Structures are given as C-alpha cells and as structure tokens.
Structure 1
C-alpha cells in the first residue's frame, strides 16, 4: 500500500496541477468563444483526434504495449532497448501518415461526429478547425509511446506533468484570441482567427511531446530509428491489439452517437449542445484523472508482473487495494458533484461569452455525471485485470455491451426529454450503462482470478458512503441557504458554497472516515501529516 501511495502521490500531484491548469484552459475557452455555435464547432473538432487516437493507440498502450515492453525488458538480452526503439519508430511513421489522411478527410469526420448540414457555416468552421487541430495526432502519439516507456521504468512524473505545459500554451492562445480575435459570433470569425485557435491547440501537444522526449533522454534512452520490423513482434501485437482496437471502435461509435444527439439538441436550444456536454464531461473526468489514472498507471505493470509469475493472489490483492484507495476519495467527490454541480461551474464558465445561466446548465449536466463517477472508476480498474493477462478480447465484449446499453438509453431519453434536458439525459444514460458494465466486468474478472474479494470490497465501500453522508448533508444545506436566502448562485455565492460544502465537507469526511478507521483514508491522512511535519 505504501509503495502504491508514493507512486500514486507523484502522479496525482502532476495530474492535479495538469487538471487545475486544464480548469483555467476551459474557463478561458468558454470566456473567449462561449458554448454556443463557435464553441460547439471547436469542441467537435477537438474531440476528433482523441477519437482517432483511441482507435489506433491509447487503448493499445495500456492493454498491449505496456505488458509487451515489460516482457521485452525481462527476456531480451538488451533489456528491451531495441524493442522500444522499434515501437517508437513505428508510432512516428504510422501516426504521421494518419495525421495527413485525417486532415484530408476532415469534412467526412465532421459529418460523422455532428448533425450539421454540409455547407452550413457551422459545418465549414468545424472542418477548418479540424484541419488545424488534426496534425496533433502525430505528436500526441509519439508522446504517448514515450510516456509508456517511461512508466515501465517506474518514471511517472514526466507523463503526468507534461500536460501542464500543453495547457499553459493553449491558455496563452485563448487569451490572445480574447484580445485580438473576432469574438464568439461564428458568422464573423476569419480564417486567421480559426488558425490561431486550431494551430495554437496543436502547438500545446507539440510542447507536451517534446517534454516527454527530453524525459526519455534523461533516463538514458537515446532514440535511434529501427526499421527491422521482423523483430517488432507486430504479429503478436496485432493479435492482442485487434481486440483493443475493436473496443475502441465500439466506444467511438457510441461517442459519435453522443455528439450527434448533442449537436442536434444544440440546434434546437442554443447553448445546450456539444459544448455543455464536453465541458461537464471534462469536469467529471477530473477526479478520475487525478486519482484513478494515477493508481491504474502504477498498478498495471505490477499486476502484469504478478500474472507473468503466476501469483494470482497478488493480482487480487493489488486490485482490491486499488479499488479501495480510489473509492476512498471518489465516493465523497461523487456525492459532492451531485449536490454542488452548478456551484462548481458558475465560477469557471459564467464569464465573457458565457452567461451564468449557460454555466448553471453545464453544472446540471455535471450533477447527473456525479452518479457515474464510482461505477466508471471501478469499470476502468476491472479492465486492467484483463489487460494484465494479455486478454484484450473480453473487454471488447464488455465494452460492446456497455456501449449498446448506453446507445439505447441515449436514444430513449433523447426521444422522451425536451431538447433543453437532452444532454442531461445523455449523461444519465452514461451513468446507468457503466453501472451495469461494471457488474458484468466484475463477474467475468472474478472468474479469471478465482474471486475479487467482493464482500470485503463491498463492505469497505459501504463504510465510505456512510462516512460521506454528513458531507452531502452539509453541502445540501449550503446550497439551500444561498439559493433560498440570497436568491441564487452568482460568482460570489458559488465560491462561498464551494468553500463550505466542498472544502469543509471534504475535511468533515476525512475526520469521520478517520474516526471510522477506514484504512485508506488513514493512510492518506498519515502521509499528508508526515509531509507537513517535515
């Protein structure tokens, strides 16, 4: 537990700074271009490269490449150095070609991800932004492979801190646009405005990749292109990776349905489309990104080694420890999101081109997403159990089932709800689908390792929810007072509600959990106390 805490703390610190600067980034974005037509066009174009990367690389990194690098380090005479160089060579060439093809196919991609009519102003702006943003594919992919190599060397700092530079670059770009650009009127933006927004976004990814390449050199890795692909184990990678790509295809199909439904809702009610969905989803991902990703990144190499040595007991112990550690903070945060959603979003997004009402709607979507936080985190942890075995096929079927349920529920809620509530319905469908997906994944993973200590983990989660109830009550009381007595949530009231309901609420949770002797919380409190004592 202590080793995981130390590794996770390093990553969580970097991820926290990254996410905080990401807050500032999205705040400046909303201030500069808003969440209506121009904001929707930007967010649609921005989502496309991440969808392509999911298909081609990011899922394969966690499920296939990391375990294969570890095996090469353990069994190759050179400690896997040549194998790593071949991987980086392949990624550089392949993703460079993909970036060129994607730029040429930008109109088709925008058509796939949105409901906008080809030839409309919003469609044309989305296509132009996509052409400026899609070149980042090559640099993002190179940085991702470099980060995977660093992780297998137990170097977690640079991959977690590099996105900070990305955010800083993009923040400067949007501040510059707010000063010299043409505002948020999509009819008035020029090609120069769109180039500033799109190329500035790409420049952030270039800076992020550069940091990771420098970090590789500092651990003694010198990149030398290798084209002897016979030794790249592409056949083995393909057999395992094809299922991971299949999983990404399924999830991206679901995401394309989401963006199409959200863009259609935005056409019906301006400001209730892709941008509120995207901004709420980014906030929802923050706790998982800070806590869950840090733990997952540290746990996967260790679980892969345990599986390689046949130590299934260690796999169960690693998983149980990871779930308890992640949920010890996810549980109170999920309840706080469900209560304090608008209080979170008004200070961030209620400025400039965005009104307070726009920010409140983003907060309403965030409240619904709070339901999904714990199931989503547990689902992601469960997938790593399969990946540690080199099994990339089972997650495809689990993901396909989850996505199918999500798609059916999205269509159902979209048909039932008025357009102004449609995006909230999409978030609710997401929460229900991942809850059911986590149940299925748990059953299958438990069969693989002869049980996952479900009873013990369930009891631990129950105690965490009981410890978090006073926090939720305090947050509800703060919202009620400032809504009923002071007439609503403006900037100042929202900050006060966050300080009372969020800040004091989390301290209350830590105190109650400490008194209830929840070991994960005690470990976190003890680690912080020791660091403060220094």
Structure 2
C-alpha cells in the first residue's frame, strides 16, 4: 500500500510520449497499478491500436480505467481511514513511515524506468520480433524478478540502518524501533510491487487494461479486513509507541504485505487470458542492459531527486510523530485528498490532450500544442478552483468525516484538517505543473523535464527545512504541505517559461485573464462559505461526524452554488465547458 509520497513530486515520470500513430501505451506505475496509496493517480493513455480498434475501443479502455480508478480510490480512502482508527496517530505515524520505505526503494530500482523505458521497449519488440516479443518479455521479467528479489533481501537486512537514517536523532528509541519492526514485515512489498507492476505492463502492452486497474482493489480489501481483525482483537489495548504488542505489529505488518501478495497473484489469470506464459529465461546479456541504462539515465535522475525530497519530508515529520501533532499519517492522508482532486480533473484533461499534443508536436505544429496547453490550463483551473475552496474552507469537517474514529481522535482529525486547509493552495499549481510536463513529453522532452525537476526539488527541500525551522513543531505537517505548494508553483512558472522559448507564444494573456476571473469567483465563494460555516454548530471545528456532515452539506452547497453563479457572471467560458463535459459523460 505504501510508497513514497509521490512518484514524482511535481510530475509523474510517465516517460517518452509516443507519436499518435505509434500506438504506444503510456503507463504511470502508481497507486492503481502497484496498490500503493502514497502515489499519484493513474495517468494511463489508451493506445491507438494496442489491442483495440477505433474510438470505441479507446473509449472502452478509458472507461474501464476510470471506473477502476474511482472504485479503488473510494475503497483506498476507507482503508486509510481504518488504519488511522485502528492504530491512532502515534503508532499510525510509525506504520506510515515504514510504508514509505518499500515505495522509495522500488522507485529507484524500477518504478521510474518502467513506463519511460521498459514499456516502450516491450511495445517495439512486440511489433518487431517474430514471436511478438514473447521471449524477450520472458527474459526481461526473469531478470527483473531476480534483481528485485536480491534488492529486497539486502534492503530488509539493512532495515535498522535505513530507519535510523530516516527517523533522525530527535525521535525516541521506542519510535525508531517500532518503525524498524514494521519495516521488517513491510519491506518485502518491494518484490511484489515490482512483480505487480511488471505484469501490469505486460498486460497493458497487450491491450488488457481492466486487471491492472482493478487488482489494487483486492489489496485494499485485504488490508481493510486486516484492520477489522486488528480492531476486533486490539481495540481495547492502550496502543502507544511504547506498549504496542508484538502480535499487534505482526497483524498489521504481515496483513499489509499479504495485501500486495494478493494483488500480484490476482493479475496472473489475466496473463493467461492474453496468451502470455511466464517461463524462466535467464539471459541478461540479450536484453541490452547498456542501452536500457542509457535511456533510463534522465529518468533515474528525475526519480532520485524526488526520492530525496520524500526522505527529507518523512525525516522532518518523524521528529514530531507521537507528540500530539499532525505528522506522517496526517500528511499522507491530506496528500491523497490533494491527488484525488488532481486525478479526477487534471488527469482527465491531460489524458484527452496528450495524444493530440503529441501528434501536433511530431508534425511541427507547435501553435496547436500551445493552444491545447492554454486551453488545458484554463479548463483545469476552472474545474479545480471550487474543489480548492472546499478544501480550504471545509478542511476540518472533511477530516473529521473521513478519518475520525477509534484510536484517531477528534484532536487528530482537526489537526489533519489544518493540513488540508494549506493543501488547498497546492491543488491548482500541482495540476498546472503536470500539464506543462505533459507538454514536454509531447515534445519528446524527458531531458528537459528532468532538468527542470532538479531546481524544483531543490526549492521543495529548501522550503521544507526553512518552514521546519520557522514554524512550531506542532505545525510541521502544515509546513511540509506548504513546501509542496511552493514547489508546484515554481515548477509551473519555470515550465511555462521554458515552453515559451521552445514553442513560442503560449497565449498567456488569455490564461491570466481566465485565472483572475476564476480566482475572483473562488474568493467570493470562499467568503460566503466561511460565513455560513461559522454560523453553524461547531463553527468550523466539529466535534463529531454529526456537526461535520451539517457543515459539509451547508458549506459545500453554498460554495459550489456561489462559485457557479460568480463564474457565470464573470463569463468564465471554461465553467460552461466543464459542465457540458460532465453532462456528456453522464449521458454516455
């Protein structure tokens, strides 16, 4: 379930975008493929021909992925809420901290290069080899499985050293030991995460999208069941970092590992369905590892920079874990909410625009790339602005509604709500930076995206340390979220400047006018929303789900209605476009 907080903290390493006529499948190896809830949302772009023909097949693949992603996210939130309720803030922080480790290691070993190098390579071999790339795929899977297995053993042996580095000297010995105990049980996820991702890639290349999107649901269901067992047998315990029992650690640690094992096994029937049989073929020399390494160089640079940022933020948050402040668990839950908004809106827009932008870029029609990027920014901004307002105004009731219960107290939920309020300012910059990165991918600009990411990560890490030094420790998670928002904004600004030099005029004047109108409409909605919420019981700090529901219904309704009226009055054309798009999708 766990990975780094983000696969690429300002943009997903989806790799070199194909020309439309090549029919290459783009795969983002993320939460929905690997079952790791700290990752970015799915950004798969269905192929032009990969196993389907015509618009009907592509639309069908998109629908399968969208539905699978939505269901998996809903169940994933239930799972995360139950983890908090079962473990509480302190133990939950240690558990979450341990969960980041396998994702970070996996990203460095395989995640960053799978979609950018290996998937396109599998597609080419499938078209060029007489056997459809069967033997090459077998050899690649064999080598990858052996490499992942060795790496998993080595990392598990080094778990005490890794958790000591990650936790820092300011954490208590009991907390660090608890992270280590969880890590021993959870680190084998590295192997099964890689296995699941590789199988998913093989399936996608052969035009099968359903299983990789739905398999993570098995993972979530298993962990939900484990949380139920944990609550049943350990809810009466006074759980804390210092007194949690070994059996309680075993149930949660092994249960988390079992979820990933079930997910990987759940993909095997789909392999048989597409006619692929996995046989042992050890022949690493025939894989062209030197060429793969050269192709993966920039992406590894990209991924390594992001994992350093993940390491820094987890280390800082570990300093306040178990001390009554929002820490790793709360930060991760808020990040998931931020990515949910991005996944629903931003990814949908990018999925629609990327093939068109790639085709235009391949033919040198850069003015069309610019026009599509401009339109995408306006659409995303108009659609995400009210969501950002809801997060900012209703952060506390949202957190209480989703996460309060069991060992996760009202105080913990309200602290999480404070983090969500700050995350509201990250929603728009995040999706805009993604759109810019996808524009680079359409221009075959992996190197450019990687180079831009270096100063962005430097800004993010600098913001982490600066805010940690300035703010009170109780606001560490708030500061780390603010650091993310700052880096997303920097990413968007740098990317737009570089794109302007590469493809010419971006029509930024029209974008700026649209953004100003959207922000005015959002500000009016936020003002009325704050007024309404503070007139309700609980006044923005509900002490239970009852008050939270009232605030969400009343405040959310006022915010959305006010935003629509204000945006319409300001003639924000994109609002009408988004409403029309939703209507068409619902009708279809």
Q: Which interval holds the TM-score relative to the shorter structure?
A: 0.7 to 0.9
User: Out of 438, 449, 469, which is 1:384 matched to?
Assistant: 438
User: Out of 146, 159, 182, which is 1:129 matched to?
Assistant: 182
Shift of 1:83: 4.1
1:324/1:520 contact within 8 Å kept? no
Shift of the 202–11 alpha-carbon distance from structure 1 to 2, 3 Å rule, reads same
TM-score for the superposition, normalised by structure 2: 0.80
Query: Matched residue of 2:325: which SS?
Result: coil
Task: Name whichever of 9-18 and 414-423 sits farther off.
Answer: 9-18
Equivalent positions of 1:122-521 (< 5 A) are: 122-153=175-206, 155-181=208-234, 182-266=237-321, 269-293=323-347, 319=373, 323=377, 326-388=380-442, 390-450=444-504, 452=506, 454-462=508-516, 464-465=518-519, 468-469=522-523, 471-482=525-536, 488-502=542-556, 505-506=559-560, 516-518=572-574, 520-521=577-578
In structure 2, distance between residues paired with 1:477 and 1:289: 30
Shift of 1:339: 1.3
Matched, 1:24 2:78: yes
Query: Matched residue of 2:320: which SS?
Result: helix
In structure 2, distance between residues paired with 1:222 and 1:299: 35
In structure 1, distance between residues paired with 2:256 and 2:375: 38
Shift of 1:183: 5.0
In structure 2, distance between residues paired with 1:453 and 1:220: 49
In structure 2, distance between residues paired with 1:316 and 1:197: 49
Query: Matched residue of 1:270: which SS?
Result: coil
TM-score for the superposition, normalised by structure 1: 0.88
Shift of 1:527: 2.0
User: Out of 119, 123, 127, which is 1:66 matched to?
Assistant: 119
In structure 2, distance between residues paired with 1:406 and 1:147: 32
Shift of the 298–212 alpha-carbon distance from structure 1 to 2, 3 Å rule, reads farther
1:169/1:203 contact within 8 Å kept? yes
In structure 1, distance between residues paired with 2:480 and 2:532: 28
Shift of 1:524: 2.3
The residue that corresponds to 1:56 in the other structure is 109
Shift of 1:351: 1.4
Shift of 1:523: 3.9
1:240/1:392 contact within 8 Å kept? no
In structure 1, distance between residues paired with 2:331 and 2:541: 26
Residue deviations 1:371-404 (CA, integer Å, cap 9, x gap): 1112112223333344455543333322221111
Shift of 1:6: 6.6
Shift of the 172–248 alpha-carbon distance from structure 1 to 2, 3 Å rule, reads same
Structure 2 unmatched ranges of 5 or more: 1-44, 46-54
Residue deviations 1:392-429 (CA, integer Å, cap 9, x gap): 33333222211111222222221111111222112112
Shift of 1:503: 5.3
Shift of 1:471: 4.3
Residue deviations 1:112-141 (CA, integer Å, cap 9, x gap): 221256981211111111010011111111
Residue deviations 1:457-493 (CA, integer Å, cap 9, x gap): 5555455545545543453233222257698453111
Task: Name whichever of 366-375 and 4-13 sits farther off.
Answer: 4-13
In structure 2, distance between residues paired with 1:347 and 1:143: 33
In structure 1, distance between residues paired with 2:352 and 2:209: 8
1:63/1:388 contact within 8 Å kept? no
Shift of 1:280: 1.9
Matched, 1:530 2:587: yes
Shift of 1:21: 1.0
Question: As a proportion of its length, which structure holds more helix?
Answer: 1
Shift of the 160–471 alpha-carbon distance from structure 1 to 2, 3 Å rule, reads farther
Shift of the 7–242 alpha-carbon distance from structure 1 to 2, 3 Å rule, reads same
Shift of the 517–197 alpha-carbon distance from structure 1 to 2, 3 Å rule, reads same
1:70/1:301 contact within 8 Å kept? no
Residue deviations 1:280-328 (CA, integer Å, cap 9, x gap): 2222222223444555567667766766676656755665565455444
In structure 1, distance between residues paired with 2:395 and 2:94: 25
Shift of 1:195: 1.4
Structure 1 unmatched ranges of 5 or more: none
Shift of 1:203: 1.2
Aligned length: 529
Shift of the 108–297 alpha-carbon distance from structure 1 to 2, 3 Å rule, reads farther
Task: Name whichever of 440-449 and 239-248 sits farther off.
Answer: 440-449
Residue deviations 1:254-299 (CA, integer Å, cap 9, x gap): 22211121111336x4333322222222222222234445555676
